[in-house]
Amino acid sequence: MKTTSRKVYIETLGCQMNKSDTERILGILSHFDYAKGTEDEADFLIINTCSIRKLSEDKAYSKLGVWGKMKQRKPDIKIAICGCVAQQEKESLLKKFPYLDLVFGTHNIYELPELIEELNRKNPDGTSNRICAIRDKAVAEKEFNIIRSKGINAWLPIMEGCNNFCTYCIVPYTRGRERSRNVETIIAEAKKIIKDGFKEITLLGQNVDSYGKDFPEDENGNKPTFANLLAELDKLEGGFRIRFTTSYPTDITDDVIETVKNANKICECFHIPMQSGNDRVLKAMNRRYNRAQYSEIVNKIRTKIKDVTITSDFIAGFPSETEEEFLDTISAINEFRLDYSNTAAYSPRPNTPAGRMTDKFIPSDIKKERLARLNDTVKKASLASNTKDIGKIYEVLVEKINENDEKNGYERIAEGRSRNNKVVHFKSNTAQIGDFINVEIKEALVWCLKGEELNMKDTVAATLEASEEAR
């Protein structure tokens, strides 16, 4: 057996898709005798970047600066940048960071074997190559190992890219147009994930509800749909859950809602970014819906699916947003009873239409103040959502064990998530990571629930009581 002598360290910034890309990069590199290592011991340093906000881009550049100093002490190490910043900035990164060896983008991860070979090839004068490999179209997917992060959840991309071109968003320019993976490949990967012992699969896509729209029609004029894919995955054997993210409001079909309602393994949770509660701002963002349409889809989901959790994203201080328009966002969170929302102050991105609205930019102090109020509203909404769960019984998938939890009297505390994605803490002497345990909710905090583990007898009694109530 060949002994692995080289180490690679990857710093991953940004979204779940980037985390999934990192797992694939590690798998590809394992074929070239690279093993995962620490930052200090690595022969190959890679930063997988996010450009959704300027802060993420600045973090990437700061890390490259640190690595440049490391290379002064260890000149043989290789440094690479990939992800959305690489796709966006291209050759300019080699000029900006003279110690950078490789730039590759979101479209050509599967080209990495050829890039590594070229990177390691010495020129006649003894110098090494510096490479920028950015593609406008995706390189075909190839079969390599995937080295997934340890835990109970596995990321499973079903599509990549976006066709929506929201005026504030860089994703269509860095990830490209929507591209769906074929059903057979996804099912095969899901089976491997289950076989490897993961208890939860999260389906990834910039807009999962668009899955299959880029495929040609079959002889009957049909295409695979997201609802079809969910139904097929739900049929797979094993004790596991399925989640998905992200959904675009007006692309969520009745078929998807019905599939989630009737499924055994698909979790009752929708992440549906709204971004603003005001119709004029939504139009300026090039979002293809208004407040009334968002309300309609949220109410439809809540009517159909019991105990469903609906989460969202919001931007504070989009160019030209007035105080009154911002207050529409605050009221939307309350009106639609959103369980939790991610928030951010508007960050101008290069090459986007909103980034060119410089005469309409909101001053930083106002954006900061609005974001603070938005976060306060989200906290109150989260507490209100959690308070409604007191007395309910949730199946919790254990993700973490705190053997001597100081905050809870040094008890053994298990932490996990309910099917509808609520974080639950409960005392247990026997729970292990990966267990599914029924818990009765006793207390609600802002970001989590506290509960009491039920034994089998309690669970049966509770199930019978719920059946009687339903009748």
Give the pLDDT confidence of 11-36 residue by residue, as tens digits. 999 999 999 999 999 999 998 889 99
The answer to whether residue 471 scores a pLDDT higher than 70 is: no
Q: How high does pLDDT run on average in the chain? A: 93
Does the pLDDT of residue 458 top 70, yes or no?
Answer: no
What tens digit of pLDDT does each residue of 154-188 get?
A: 999 999 999 999 999 999 999 999 999 999 999 99
User: Which tokens sit at 391?
Assistant: 């007395």
Give percent above pLDDT 70 in the chain. Answer: 96
In the sheet with 241-245, reading across from the earlier edge strand, the strands are 153-157, 200-204, 241-245
pLDDT value at position 162?
96
Instruction: Report residue 150 as tokens.
Output: 């340890």
Residue 470 reports pLDDT greater than 50:
no
**Between these two residues, 2 and 32, which has the higher pLDDT value?**
32
Distance CA 321, CA 133 (A): 39
At 182-239, the pLDDT tens digits run 999 999 999 999 999 999 999 999 999 999 999 999 888 899 999 999 999 999 999 9
DSSP 3-state percent helix, strand, coil across the chain (nearest 5): 40, 25, 40
Q: What value does the CA radius of gyration of the chain take, rounded to a whole number of Å?
A: 24
What is the widest separation between alpha-carbon atoms in the chain? 83
Give kind and range of the element (H or E) at residue 96. helix 92-96
Range with the lowest mean pLDDT among 1-15, 80-94, 144-158, 242-256?
1-15
Nearest-angstrom CA–CA distance, 399 and 157: 22
By the 10 Å C-beta count (0-12 exposed, 13-18 middle, 19+ buried), 196 is classed as exposed
- The neighbouring-strand residues paired with 385 are none
Pairing label, strands 449-453, 102-104: unpaired
pLDDT at 409: 79
Distance CA 239, CA 180 (A): 27
- Residue 294's contacts (CB-CB under 8 Å, 6 or more residues apart) are 249, 272, 274, 332, 336
Q: Which residues pair with 402 in a beta bridge?
A: 413
262 vs 223: CA distance, rounded Å = 22
Residue 183 tokens, joined:
């059903």
Q: Work out the angle between the directed axes of helices 254-262 and 226-234 (0-180°, nearest 10).
A: 10
Residue 452 has pLDDT above 70, yes or no: yes
E strand map for 317-381: 340-345
Which amino acid, residue 105?
Answer: G
For residue 4, the model assigns a pLDDT of: 55
**What was the pLDDT predicted at 408?**
76
Cis (ω within 30 of 0) for the bond into 246?
yes
Confidence band for 406, pLDDT divided at 50, 70 and 90: confident
- Condensed to tens digits (0 to 9), the pLDDT of residues 47-71 reads 999 998 889 999 999 999 999 999 9
How would residue 75 be classed by pLDDT, with cut points 50, 70 and 90? very high
Residue indicated by tokens 């450009």: 51
pLDDT for 459: 57
Around Cβ 255, how many Cβ atoms within 10 Å? 14
Give the least confident one: 212-221, 250-259, 362-371, 432-441.
212-221
pLDDT band for position 246 (cuts 50, 70, 90): very high
- What integer pLDDT is reported at residue 5 of this predicted model? 76
For residue 124, pLDDT over 70 is answered with yes
- CB-count burial class (<10 Å; 0-12, 13-18, 19+) for 186: buried
> Model confidence over 337-388: pLDDT tens digits?
999 999 999 999 988 999 999 999 999 999 999 999 999 999 999 999 999 9
Given a contact cutoff of 8 angstroms between Cβ atoms, the answer to whether 46 and 13 are in contact is no
Sheet holding 102-104, edge to edge: 34-36, 6-12, 44-49, 78-83, 102-104, 131-133
pLDDT of res. 464: 47
Of residues 169 and 466, more confidently modeled:
169
